[in-house]
Chains A and B, each alone.
Chain A
Amino acid sequence: MRTRLALAAVVLALLPWFLHDYGLQVAIQALVLGVFAMSFNLLFRNTGLLSFGHAACFGSAGYTTALLVSKLRWNFAATLPLALAAAALVALVIGFFSVRLTKIYFTMLTLAFAQMLWAVAHKWYGFTGGDNGISGLLPPGLLGNPKGLYYASLMALAVVCAVIHVVRRSPAGYTLRAVRDNPARAEAIGISAFEYMVAAFVLSGTLSGLAGFLQVAWQHSVFPDLLYWTTSAEVIIAVILGGSAEFFGPAIGAVVLVVLEAVVRSHTQYWPLALGMVLLAMVLFFPSGVVSLFPRRQRQEAPRAAA
């Protein structure tokens, strides 16, 4: 595993020097969606909660950056702490109310909250620009340079992966999975399931905000689309397509999704049709994601007692 990881890191670090402009744009987009998908899976994998509201965290961070830069003339990079804070706050509010509900009700409530934010961003022309969005947000310096943005996104992905790894191995991570697998029993031994799930939601949402910030740095603009439910659907697709049970599954899913989209779009305008077909095939034929399509040698060697 370590050698593979080191190999992947070397390839990713050298990649920008072998890509054209367009290829680099695709790579950045894949990394940003990868950050988003890994963050989403922090919640989904450890708590089993399927959020349809992560667009709210992603988009509110993006809008925070855009508003601070366009209205208050802040330096682009300096908006990052506030963008993350906005995402954390949104996640706290949504998580606080939503984790009380289970299953599809949780999913629907998170969807409702995210759509509420979308409705405000979509209609409040005076503040958010409505559906015209806010554009012309070219970040100066490193983030404005494609290679710089690539490395910044790669670093963000590494940070997010490290955080998830630490959380997963920590007592809190085990507690979360205990709550996921048997909430009644976890409560019975004195665990506050509510607090742990809210904390996981906030952490996952904050890291999603990092992806939202990078997304704005990449597209130089914000639109209400960032908050729309299809953005939440896209990250879920990336996570499941890659395989939510594997550590790097979501990131791999993001790469597959973004690269596939770039390839299909260069041939035809019917990308949704192609994506629909891929999703159908995945749900019906390889439900564990693309990761499961690779040879399984590595995992068969792994000790099973860890579970």
Chain B
Amino acid sequence: MTLPFLFLEFMTGLASAASLFLLAVGLSLIFGALGIVNFAHGSFFVLGAYFLFALTHGDATGFWHYLLLAVAASLVLGAVVERVFIRRVLNRAEHYQILLTYALLLIIEDVSKICFGADYKSIGMPKGFEMPVFVLGIPFPSYYLGLVGLAAAAALLLWLFLHRTRYGTLVRAVTQDREMLEALGVNVPLLFTVIFAVGIGLAGFGGAVSLPLQSISTGVAMDAVISAFIVVVVGGLGSIWGTLLSAILIGEIQAFGALVLPEFSIAFTYVLMAAVLLFRPWGLLGRPPAVRT
């Protein structure tokens, strides 16, 4: 194993971390604010990819502007789903929340099978990333770097939104004290719709930008949602930076785990998740609960 090889493995890990981050960050945001564990989150990731595929017909030439449309469609879908379904279970026991989002997972799986077919969908490298780059003399798909850049840009935008806009301040506030916000006259139900839509939009964006590297079929959602849970639990439910940190950690563990023990590379991430839950149940960068309930 030479140094350039290890470096490329590191970059591959970073690319899957980028995809994992976009998949998981919305889940974390939604859990932090609404307290909902969204089992359908992986389905919205897959749907984002399907939207892009349907718009481009699998042809990468119009990738960038169709990407915007796919994200817009995910945002709208997220808002509608929150208004129609999620809102009704916000104050219910968590097994109802889980069953409702699981029902959405099942419905989305079959509806997308009906609309798009059950076969794997993929798309070529988007404009600007057709040629590989040479890293220390080894060709490397330049889109891996593009994906990392896109995820970094999304993280930065999200940070600006949360920390530099008034509405972002409200989003952070609602994760801490919903009743106080209501008392201050903030339209919390609308805020929840926006947060859910943004979370789903991020998942759809993640699915769409991952499509050139990872072909998608309806069955992917089942695995994707579990990956998202792991990332979010390791990073800390509700913590954006924790999600980023744990996505990088898990992306790299999977990349290098596949080198060391290919048979058990997925088990490594579960071991990490269990270890974190045992020693820091609130996650690496999450807030420890003030009172154990």
Within the complex, which residue of B106, B110, B233, B263 is in contact with A108, where a contact is CB–CB below 8 Å?
B233
Query: Closest approach, in angstroms, between the C-beta of A255 and any C-beta of chain B?
Result: 18
- Whether the pair B94, A279 counts as a contact (CB closer than 8 A) is no
Identify the stretch in A71-79, A201-209, A230-238 within 8 Å (CB) of chain B at 4 or more residues: A230-238
Query: Closest approach, in angstroms, between the C-beta of B214 and any C-beta of chain A?
Result: 19
- Whether the pair B92, A116 counts as a contact (CB closer than 8 A) is no
Find chain A residues with CB under 8 A from B229 CB.
108, 111
- Whether the pair B99, A123 counts as a contact (CB closer than 8 A) is no
Docked complex Cα distance between A119 and B237 (Å): 23
- Whether the pair B267, A123 counts as a contact (CB closer than 8 A) is yes
- Whether the pair A273, B111 counts as a contact (CB closer than 8 A) is yes
Binary flags per residue of A222-241, CB closer than 8 Å to B gives 1, else 0: 00000011100100110010
Docked complex Cα distance between A276 and B81 (Å): 14
- Whether the pair B263, A276 counts as a contact (CB closer than 8 A) is no
Query: Closest approach, in angstroms, between the C-beta of A142 and any C-beta of chain B?
Result: 36
- Whether the pair B274, A236 counts as a contact (CB closer than 8 A) is no
Query: Closest approach, in angstroms, between the C-beta of A97 and any C-beta of chain B?
Result: 6
Docked complex Cα distance between A285 and B113 (Å): 27
Query: Closest approach, in angstroms, between the C-beta of B99 and any C-beta of chain A?
Result: 5
Docked complex Cα distance between A280 and B99 (Å): 8
Pair count A-B, CB < 8 A: 118
Find chain A residues with CB under 8 A from B105 CB.
276
Query: Closest approach, in angstroms, between the C-beta of A50 and any C-beta of chain B?
Result: 5
Find chain B residues with CB under 8 A from A280 CB.
85, 100, 103-104, 107
Identify the stretch in A80-88, A99-107, A171-179, A290-298 within 8 Å (CB) of chain B at 4 or more residues: A99-107
Find chain A residues with CB under 8 A from B230 CB.
112
- Whether the pair B110, A272 counts as a contact (CB closer than 8 A) is yes
A216 within 8 A of B: no
Within the complex, which residue of B37, B109, B271, B274 is in contact with A272, where a contact is CB–CB below 8 Å?
B109
- Whether the pair B274, A284 counts as a contact (CB closer than 8 A) is no
Interface of A: prevailing SS: helix
Residue of A nearest to B102 (CB): A233
B292 within 8 A of A: yes
Q: How extensive is the interface on chain A, given as a class?
A: 35 or more
Query: Closest approach, in angstroms, between the C-beta of A288 and any C-beta of chain B?
Result: 11
Docked complex Cα distance between A45 and B6 (Å): 51
Query: Closest approach, in angstroms, between the C-beta of A278 and any C-beta of chain B?
Result: 8
B95 within 8 A of A: yes
Find chain B residues with CB under 8 A from A233 CB.
102
Binary flags per residue of A85-128, CB closer than 8 Å to B gives 1, else 0: 00000000000010001111101110111011001101111000
- Whether the pair B277, A104 counts as a contact (CB closer than 8 A) is no
- Whether the pair B274, A113 counts as a contact (CB closer than 8 A) is yes
Docked complex Cα distance between A273 and B264 (Å): 33
A277 within 8 A of B: yes
Query: Closest approach, in angstroms, between the C-beta of A90 and any C-beta of chain B?
Result: 13
- Whether the pair A105, B263 counts as a contact (CB closer than 8 A) is no
Find chain B residues with CB under 8 A from A102 CB.
292-293
Docked complex Cα distance between A107 and B97 (Å): 13
- Whether the pair B114, A270 counts as a contact (CB closer than 8 A) is yes
6 contacting pairs across A/B (C-beta < 8 A): A50-B98, A105-B282, A237-B99, A240-B99, A279-B99, A284-B100
Interface residues of B (CB under 8 A from A): 37, 85, 88-89, 92, 94-96, 98-100, 102-107, 109-111, 113-114, 222, 226, 229-230, 233, 237, 263-264, 266-267, 270-271, 273-274, 277-278, 281-282, 292-293
Taking A113-B270, A279-B100 as given, write out 7 further A-B residue pairs in contact, using a Cβ cutoff of 8 Å, ordered by the A residue number: A105-B281, A112-B270, A119-B264, A272-B110, A275-B106, A279-B99, A287-B96
